[in-house]
Chains A and B, each alone.
Chain A
Amino acid sequence: DTGVSQDPRHKITKRGQNVTFRCDPISEHNRLYWYRQTLGQGPEFLTYFQNEAQLEKSRLLSDRFSAERPKGSFSTLEIQRTEQGDSAMYLCASSPRPLNTEAFFGQGTRLTVV
């Protein structure tokens, strides 16, 4: 396993279109996180999963954002009706038990909304 994998790496979309990003965590990592990072800022927490359960989603930026992890393995983040303000890097991370370990981040998906 070479680490957390995200696809696509880059996405350009027109305003109003829907986009979906995929994240494959490190095998056997039961926790998976989504973050958004804009230029010059630190990552902003969006949501996380423990196995297939989405345990925190209140920080998803709006109801246009949704995430799934149907079988407790890969996850998808969907943004509906994209807006220019959604342009950012979307990062996925995973971590194993116990909690006192760091999370491992993927390369990210850079979204540009035109």
Chain B
Amino acid sequence: ELKVEQNPLFLSMQEGKNYTIYCNYSTTSDRLYWYRQDPGKSLESLFVLLSNGAVKQEGRLMASLDTKARLSTLHITAAVHDLSATYFCAVPLDSNYQLIWGAGTKLIIKP
């Protein structure tokens, strides 16, 4: 059974600091997705990582994928308050886009 684990599940940090969220998964996959969710809102796609070694960056967020280690990271550089949200990683169970999701990392960035 595919399991997706994120850590930490909760993170409170000051503006300007750097931090990394980790996403581990239990079976082989060559794809991984990162989403953001604001309170009471829907899910917004951040990154689609399609191969081993894939790295994508958008603003202060950078995501990477190591399929051999079954690990993805979401790195936050010089955090700002607007990045406060819950971040989810998700891995496809099969080719038909049945995603298995982590529990999410709730990120609070204090001004």
CB-contacts of A87-114 with B (<8 A): 91, 93, 95, 99-108
A100 touches B31 (CB 8 A): yes
Q: Give the interface size bracket for B toward A.
A: 20 to 34
CB-contacts of B20-66 with A (<8 A): 31, 33, 35, 41-45, 48, 50
B90 touches A42 (CB 8 A): yes
Note all chain A residues with C-beta closer than 8 A to B31: 100
A43–B103 Cα distance when bound, in Å, is: 8
B33 touches A41 (CB 8 A): no
**Segment touching A, from B11-19, B67-75, B76-84, B94-102:** B94-102
B43 touches A43 (CB 8 A): yes
A108 touches B42 (CB 8 A): yes
B95 touches A99 (CB 8 A): yes
Question: Using a CB–CB distance below 8 Å, which chain B residues touch chain A?
Answer: 4, 31, 33, 35, 41-45, 48, 50, 88, 90, 93, 95-104
